[in-house]
A and B are shown apart, each in its own frame.
Chain A
């Protein structure tokens, strides 16, 4: 039990000439402790969907339940929901604004009504967990590198201690080193704290490597919802909607076409390595 999305529809500019059905008949259950990837091309409804999960957008029809409670109920505390479901937007570093890194991270917990000491403690912990060294705490966030800024922005959400962490393309524009840092950080949060993580991504390779379950969005609908292996079996259908399978999946398909008896449900480099060693070295012996 955690979040249930029940027959949710969302229409932008309803009743006008610009009406767009952004979400159509979405049914999802997100369980505690899951690590989920959402993929889909630009305009497929990914961002609209995640904004429903913490009540920033209200569904045109349908219901969303958080731990069994209807979030559209009059008595439901949406503020509390937003404390428990943290959302990191695209390019979150554009939202840094305080004079020091420490104050910026304190902003969220202070808003939750914590005392200065409590908020400070939270900020300290959050900054440490994203790997910002203490000597930077009282510097301006604007002097940091792109990857560091993004980690500070994520710390700002972590300091609110959410149960569910939703990130909209957290690695966009980062170099490979920065990308790995952020993804490893998120994985650690998931493993060590049991946090439910929902990751919106454009990189099939990253999604295949990190998440346990993939939700594919297309034209406002859920097209696939399964473990990576199963989802990437539909690579031809994914291509028709502007997505793809990871490079290694294609490699295995090509090798199989050439007559090498390899399994094609490989989605990561590590799996590909194991499978090729099994087939090639096994054959030789």
Chain B
């Protein structure tokens, strides 16, 4: 079953002047069709302003579609009565960790969500411990969040979403403000949630290296889905990606240059191991 299903989804940002007359209309989502199966790891790529974040905010019912329909776990997000269910099904993690942490102790921050939806106190503590454990932050439960590193804060934010027991987590550029170490930590935590707990992941990112292990990739530009496929299919098209202001992983780029110089290297090399294998094959 598709946990997320978008059909002809349109979102327009309308600006009005003081008298309420329409000043300008900006189409951020332009008839988007998109499907995510339960348990998948999906990546969404696109340059700044391509509509990625607008899409993410629909999955969490923070924005309502102007036209078209989005179903999250079978529920239409535009219906008022579904909003709470939708938000519980699909949790959201944003770019800046400092904007998402509200409590002065890590475990209280993680417990805030479940407390808000009326989970009994003893269950809250079980959930808090479980979710902190799942992102490797259990030993920091009594720490103050402002003494944590960016990667650690972001993992606390993810634990906060996990404590709501969502089926799906949408991460909107969760590593953009982190250093290489923090980026690795967060990505490892996200992959584990996907593999061990079967949580559906929608990762929005600018880092091509983070996309290599995804099950499926959507590329957005001007509010439209312009490319879709497995990472290998997407990264085989170096030229098309550049047109959309995107990039390929460094290994893919090098493989592509070597192929153009006449070496027999297969299309869509994604990782170092694959390129090592391909080069060694030629050397033998």
Determine the distance from Cα of A41 to Cα of B183 in the docked complex, in whole angstroms: 12
A42 near B179 with CB under 8 A, answer yes
A42 near B149 with CB under 8 A, answer yes
**Segment among B35-43, B131-139, B253-261 that sits at the interface with chain A:** B253-261
A178 near B47 with CB under 8 A, answer yes
Looking at the complex, which one of B149, B150, B206 makes contact with A174 (CB distance below 8 Å)?
Answer: B206
The tally of residues in B whose CB lies under 8 Å from a CB in A reads 37
B residues near A224, Cβ cutoff 8 Å = none
A243 within 8 A of B: yes
The residue on A at minimum CB distance from B52 is A175
B177 within 8 A of A: yes
B283 near A178 with CB under 8 A, answer no
Looking at the complex, which one of A177, A202, A260, A277 makes contact with B280 (CB distance below 8 Å)?
Answer: A260
Determine the distance from Cα of A152 to Cα of B18 in the docked complex, in whole angstroms: 28
A16 within 8 A of B: no
A42-B150, A242-B180, A277-B261 in contact; A254/B272 too (CB < 8 A)?
yes
Determine the distance from Cα of A10 to Cα of B41 in the docked complex, in whole angstroms: 46
CB distance from A260 to the nearest CB of B (A): 5
Most chain B CB neighbours (cut-off 10 Å) among A146, A243, A273: A273
B residues near A205, Cβ cutoff 8 Å = 250
B276 near A146 with CB under 8 A, answer no
A147 near B276 with CB under 8 A, answer no
B263 near A277 with CB under 8 A, answer yes
Contact flags B13-31 to A (C-beta < 8 A → 1, else 0):
0000000000000000000
Of the four ranges (under 10, 10 to 19, 20 to 34, 35 or more), the interface on chain A belongs to 35 or more
**Segment among A61-69, A95-103, A244-252 that sits at the interface with chain B:** A244-252
B48 near A175 with CB under 8 A, answer yes
A20 within 8 A of B: no
Looking at the complex, which one of A43, A147, A243 makes contact with B48 (CB distance below 8 Å)?
Answer: A147
Considering only residues 111-166 of chain A, those with a C-beta below 8 Å from chain B are 145-147
A255 near B279 with CB under 8 A, answer yes
Chain A residues touching B, majority SS: helix
The residue on A at minimum CB distance from B181 is A242
A178-B48, A269-B257 in contact; A258/B179 too (CB < 8 A)?
no
Contact flags B177-206 to A (C-beta < 8 A → 1, else 0):
101111000000000000000000000001
Determine the distance from Cα of A42 to Cα of B181 in the docked complex, in whole angstroms: 9
A42-B182, A251-B251 in contact; A173/B261 too (CB < 8 A)?
no
CB distance from A240 to the nearest CB of B (A): 11
B247 near A176 with CB under 8 A, answer yes
CB distance from A172 to the nearest CB of B (A): 6
B254 near A272 with CB under 8 A, answer yes
B95 near A202 with CB under 8 A, answer no
B254 near A251 with CB under 8 A, answer yes
A283 within 8 A of B: yes
B253 near A175 with CB under 8 A, answer no
The residue on A at minimum CB distance from B245 is A177
CB distance from B139 to the nearest CB of A (A): 19
The residue on A at minimum CB distance from B251 is A247
B250 near A280 with CB under 8 A, answer no
A residues near B182, Cβ cutoff 8 Å = 42
Determine the distance from Cα of A173 to Cα of B207 in the docked complex, in whole angstroms: 10
A227 within 8 A of B: no
Looking at the complex, which one of A243, A269, A280 makes contact with B254 (CB distance below 8 Å)?
Answer: A269
A78 within 8 A of B: no
B residues near A250, Cβ cutoff 8 Å = 272
Considering only residues 146-192 of chain B, those with a C-beta below 8 Å from chain A are 149-150, 173, 176-177, 179-182
B227 within 8 A of A: no
Can you list 21 residue pairs at the A/B interface with Cβ under 8 Å? Answer: A145-B48, A172-B177, A174-B48, A175-B245, A177-B47, A243-B180, A247-B251, A248-B250, A251-B275, A254-B272, A255-B276, A258-B276, A260-B280, A269-B250, A273-B254, A276-B254, A276-B258, A276-B263, A277-B261, A280-B263, A283-B283
In the A-B complex, list the 9 residue pairs whose CB atoms are closest, starting with the nearest. Answer: A177-B245, A176-B247, A175-B47, A242-B181, A146-B48, A247-B250, A173-B176, A145-B49, A273-B257
Given contacts A178-B48, A251-B254, A260-B283, 14 further A-B contacts (CB under 8 A): A41-B181, A42-B179, A145-B48, A172-B176, A173-B95, A174-B48, A177-B247, A202-B180, A244-B180, A247-B250, A248-B250, A258-B276, A269-B254, A273-B254
A-side residues, CB < 8 A to B, are 41-43, 145-147, 172-178, 202, 204-205, 242-244, 246-248, 250-251, 254-255, 258, 260, 269, 272-273, 276-277, 279-281, 283
B-side residues, CB < 8 A to A, are 46-49, 95, 149-150, 173, 176-177, 179-182, 206, 208-209, 245-247, 249-251, 253-254, 257-258, 261-263, 272, 275-276, 279-280, 282-283
